[in-house]
Structure 1
Amino acid sequence: MNIHAKSIRYFDVICRSGSIREAARRLHVDGSAVNRQLLNLEDEIGAALFERLPGGLRLTEAGQIFSQHVVTVLQDEQRTLAELEQLQGVERGEIRIAAAESLNTDFLPAVLENMLRRYPKVRIHTFMLGSESIAQQVSSGEVDVGAAFAMRGGPDLTCVGSGIFRLGAIMAPDHPLAAREDVSFDECAAFPLVMANPDFAVHSLLLPLMQKAAKPVQPVVYSGAIELMRQLAMRGVGIAFQTRIGLKALCADQRLAYVPLRESDNVAAHLGIYIRSARGLPPAVTALIAIMNEQLGDLQREEASVT
C-alpha cells in the first residue's frame, strides 16, 4: 500500500539509484513516466532537484533539502502502515529479505515454510546477495531484514539475532584430507582451492590465513556462488570453505566431506539477523524475525552437539 503521492516515491527511488533509467527498472515502469513525475515535482517546487550530469544525476541544494523531507515522510508512512497492520494482527503484510546464498539449503526454506504456514496471506520477496550488499540494502531500506555472515555493523543497522558457527573445509569424500578430524588452512593450501569472491564473508574470514600462509595462495577458481563452490568441491576440483549450515544431507549421503578448520576458533563465522535501526517494525516483520531466531537457535544447538 502506498499512501503518498507517486512523485515522492519516484523521487526517493531516483535518489537511491542515481539515474532515471535505473529508477524506472526498479519501479517497473517506463523511463518517460519517471522523468515526467520528476519534472512535475520540480515545477511544483519551483527549483531543479537534480543536476543532469554525463555520469548520472546529482542532488542540487534544493534537492538535498527536499530529500530530507522525503525520508521523514516515508518513515512516517512505514509507521502508519505498521499501526494499521497492528489492528489486523499478522494477517497480511509484505516482507523483503536479503540473505546469504549459503542459507538457501536449510535455514531459509525452513523459515519461510514456518512463516507461510502460520501466516499464509503474507507475501515474501527474497534476494540472495553478498554480506556487504546485504548491509547496504538493509541500511537503505531496500529490504526489511538481512541475514548474513560477518556483516559489518554500523549506526544504521541493528542485530536482532545471532549465532556462531565453525568454519570448515569441504571436499570430495575421497580427498586425502577428508578423513581428518580437523585440518589447518596451510594443509588445505597444498591442494587446489576454490575461494569465494571478496564480497562474501568467508573471503574476509579467510583473508588473515591466506596472508599468513607459508606459500602464496593461488586458488584455481574464485566464485560468487556458494552452490558452484559446493559442486566443485564434490567433484574433486578443489577444496572450498564454509560452515556446516546446509551440508547435513550431503555429508550424510557421503557426497561431500566437511572437515573443521583448526584455526576456526579465530575465524568463527557469525551469522546475524539485521534490521535498519530506529524503525518501527510491522507485525509481519516482527513475526518473521521471531521465526528466524527459532531456526537460528536450532542450528546453534546442532552446531554445539557436533563440536
Structure 2
Amino acid sequence: MQSTGLRYFLEVARSGSIADASVRLNVAGSAISRQIAKLERELGVELFERRPRGMVPSAAGEVLAAHARRTTLDAERVITDIRELQGPHRGFVRLASYEGFAVDILPEAIAKFRREYPGVRFHLWVGSSIEIVRLIHDGEADIGTTFNYAPPRGVKIEQIIRRPMHALIPRHHPLAGHMSVTMAETLPYAVALPDKDRTQRHLIDTAFAMQGLTIDPVLSTNSISALRRFADAEGCIHFSSAIRVPGRVEVGEYIAIPVSDDVMTDSVLQILTMEGRVLPAVVQTFLNQLLTDISITHQK
C-alpha cells in the first residue's frame, strides 16, 4: 500500500546509508539507488546530501520523509481497521515513555485497558525524552510520555500536566516532620539521584546551582528501579514527580514532602502523538482512557 520507491527512500532516510537500508530491506543496494534516482528525477530535486559517512535527507528529503511516514502509518491504520471488522477489540499499541511514568502509571493503565479489550497487544519502550520524541516524530511509536521537554515540529502535545517534585523522606529521618523542604535542606543527608542525562537530575542540579550549591549523591544511576531499591535498602532521600496527590503524603516507609524550590514546582508531564496523524481506533481509544485517568487523578 506504499510505492516501492517511497519505501526504499524512507529506509535510507532512517538508516543513513544505502548499504544499511539494503541489509534491513534485504534488497540489492543498486535497486535502492535506482528507485531513489527515479524519485529525484520525477521531483526535480536531490533528496539526500551525499556525505563521506552516509546520506542525510535534504530539505526536500525531509518534507518527503514526513509525507512517507504519514502515508505508511495511514496504510497501517487502514489495515488495522479492516482487521478489526473481522474480530472486535483487536490491535497493537506502541508506547514510548520515560522510566518513572513507565513504572508508576503505564502498567496499571495497560492492564485496565486489556480488561475491556483483551485482544489488544502493547509494546512499551523506555528511554530518554529526546529518544521518545524521535520515535513519535518518525512514527515508530504511537503515544509518547515525556518529562519537561519541549518537542520539535512534527510532534503534537495532546496534554500537559504539572507534576511538582516531592522528596521521599524515610519516616524516621530528621526532615520527615516538615510540610515542605528546600533542596538546600537535603544537602547534609544521603541522597540518591538519577544520572546527569536524566531530566529530573537537570532540575535538581539547576535548583542547587541557583543557590550556588552542588550535590554529591551517594548513588547515581540511569535506572529508576535500581535507584528506588537502593533508597529502600539505604534509607536515603530520593525524589519523585509521580506522587498523584499534591502535598504531604505517606508512601510506604517514606513521607513524600513537596519541594518548595521554584524550579522544582514547574515540572510537567507531556503526552505526545505525531502531528497530523489520524490514529488507529484502538490507539485513540487507549489515548482517551489515559488522558481521562491522568486528568481525574490530578484533579483530586
TM-score for both structures, normalised by structure 1: 0.78
Please show how residues 96-115 of structure 1 align to structure 2 within 5 Å. 96-115=94-113
Give the one of 62, 70, 77 matched to 1:75: 70
What's the CA shift for 1:66?
6.1
Please show how residues 31-110 of structure 1 align to structure 2 within 5 Å. 32=23, 34=25, 36-46=27-37, 51=50, 53=52, 56-59=53-56, 68-69=63-64, 71-83=66-78, 85-86=80-81, 88=84, 91-110=89-108
Please show how residues 222-301 of structure 1 align to structure 2 within 5 Å. 222-236=220-234, 238-245=236-243, 251-254=250-253, 256-263=254-261, 267-301=265-299
Answer whether contact 2:166 2:243 (CA < 8 A) is retained.
Answer: no
Identity score, percent: 20
* Alignment CA distance shift 1:13-1:157 (3 Å): same
Residues in 2 aligned to 1:239 and 1:296: alpha-carbon distance in whole angstroms: 26
Answer whether contact 2:98 2:145 (CA < 8 A) is retained.
Answer: yes
* Alignment CA distance shift 1:77-1:105 (3 Å): closer
What's the CA shift for 1:150?
1.2
Residue aligning to 1:147: 145
Residues in 2 aligned to 1:180 and 1:263: alpha-carbon distance in whole angstroms: 14
Residues in 2 aligned to 1:236 and 1:290: alpha-carbon distance in whole angstroms: 40
Residues in 1 aligned to 2:152 and 2:16: alpha-carbon distance in whole angstroms: 23
Answer whether contact 2:8 2:36 (CA < 8 A) is retained.
Answer: no
* Count of residue pairs the alignment pairs up: 286
Residue aligning to 1:28: none
Residue aligning to 1:209: 207
Cα RMSD after superposing both structures: 3.3
* Alignment CA distance shift 1:258-1:19 (3 Å): farther
Residue aligning to 2:44: none
Answer whether contact 1:245 1:299 (CA < 8 A) is retained.
Answer: no
Report the secondary structure of 2:93's partner residue. Answer: strand
**1:231-290 CA deviation, whole Å, 9 max, x = no partner?**
22222364222124489xx95432x33221122585332112111111111111111111
Unaligned runs of 5+ in 2: 41-47
TM-score for both structures, normalised by structure 2: 0.80
Answer whether contact 1:172 1:233 (CA < 8 A) is retained.
Answer: no
Unaligned runs of 5+ in 1: 25-30, 303-307
What's the CA shift for 1:146?
0.4
Report the secondary structure of 1:235's partner residue. Answer: helix
Report the secondary structure of 1:180's partner residue. Answer: coil
Residue aligning to 1:170: 168
Residues in 2 aligned to 1:7 and 1:235: alpha-carbon distance in whole angstroms: 56
What's the CA shift for 1:230?
1.5
Residue aligning to 2:186: 188
What's the CA shift for 1:83?
4.3
Answer whether contact 1:96 1:145 (CA < 8 A) is retained.
Answer: yes
What's the CA shift for 1:10?
5.2
Residues in 1 aligned to 2:200 and 2:298: alpha-carbon distance in whole angstroms: 18
More displaced 10-residue stretch of structure 1: 216-225 or 43-52: 43-52
Answer whether contact 2:142 2:273 (CA < 8 A) is retained.
Answer: yes
Residues in 1 aligned to 2:57 and 2:215: alpha-carbon distance in whole angstroms: 47
